[in-house]
Amino acid sequence: MINISFFIRQISLITLLTVGVSLEMIGGVIDLAFAAQLSASALVGVSLIAGGCPVGVGCIGILFFNFCLGFLKAVFLVKLRIPSIIFTLAMQVILSNFLLVTVDYTGIVIPGLQESYRGNLYTVVELIITVFCVAGAFFFLEKTYYGKYCRMLGEDLPLARENGVKCFGISVVVHLFSSFFFSISAAFLMFRTGSSNSALGATYLYQILTAVFLGGILPGTGKGRILGMASGALAVTLGVTFLTGSGYLYRFENILEGSIILVALALGIRKKN
């Protein structure tokens, strides 16, 4: 029997992350750092709240941290032209190890934060926020200048440069918009657990990449639709719910994670050739 509240919260989080990663991939970036980014940004929020700041300031801290990382991605990937696989893998290593040396495995815990966030009301609020965010992503991708040229960057960045497209500016906007989705996801996790630690976002790496690929978003194509992203997120949520209930999820986690990364690399190389 599926717990409806648990299922809604899972699909809300997975959908937000899937849309965020998909927007980056449509723009030509294979992001392997978003899971570590999720953990690190949640830690920023928890640290601010534990230090006496209001909850709103903690959420602003999460948003600011993710925006900084989003801008950094645009600089390294478009300005300096570093391959996304190499840069985001390096960022993942840096963020993960930064978390390990900053806090221990248990992280920072604020019990009162989790207690105040329980209840069906917050589940409904998460669902409503997710629906509005997905609608915003649809408008961004299909109706705006940045969404149109985001696809050009993902399909052929050198050609876009030759045609006079302002690639860096577009990349900055796309990554900042994606960072907004990562920020909301980190805030959801922070409130749900009342904590943050080095492993908070780790389990979502292969899940989200799987959802992205199932949604029809492939590296180097510049193609992708919101309906596909939502479908991929739903499929993965159902799969995760089944595997968790059956006790198989964590047994095959590392194998699945490595396989998805290999698929991403293979698809990217095939497209270039």
Q: What is the CB-side half-sphere exposure of residue 237 using CA atoms within 13 A?
A: 24
CB contact at 8 A, 123 and 65: no
Q: Which secondary structure element, helix H or strand E, spans residue 235, and what is its range?
A: helix 226-246
| pLDDT at site 158 | 84
Strand pairing partners for 35?
Answer: none
Which segments of the chain are extended strands (E)? 108-109, 195-196
Range of the domain at 184: 4-272
Report pLDDT for 248: 60
pLDDT at 47: 87
pLDDT at 110: 80
What pLDDT score does 260 carry? 66
Contacts of 237 (CB under 8 A, 6+ apart): 7, 10, 11, 14
Q: What is the DSSP string of 109-176?
A: E-HHHHHHT-SHHHHHHHHHHHHHHHHHHHHHHHHSHHHHHHHHHHH-HHHHHHTT--HHHHHHHHHH
SS3 state at 195: strand
| Per-residue model confidence (pLDDT) at position 106 | 62
The CATH number given to whatever domain includes residue 95 is: 1.10.3470
Q: What is the pTM of this model?
A: 0.88
Q: How far apart are CA 140 and CA 23, in angstroms?
A: 10
Q: According to the model, what pLDDT value does residue 249 have?
A: 58
Give the mean pLDDT per block of 10 residues along the chain (273 residues): 76 95 93 91 89 91 95 92 91 84 70 73 89 96 91 87 88 95 94 78 84 84 90 86 64 64 62 54
Total of domains in the chain: 1
Find all residues with CB under 8 Å of 46, minimum gap 6, and list them: 58, 107, 108, 110, 113, 190, 195, 196
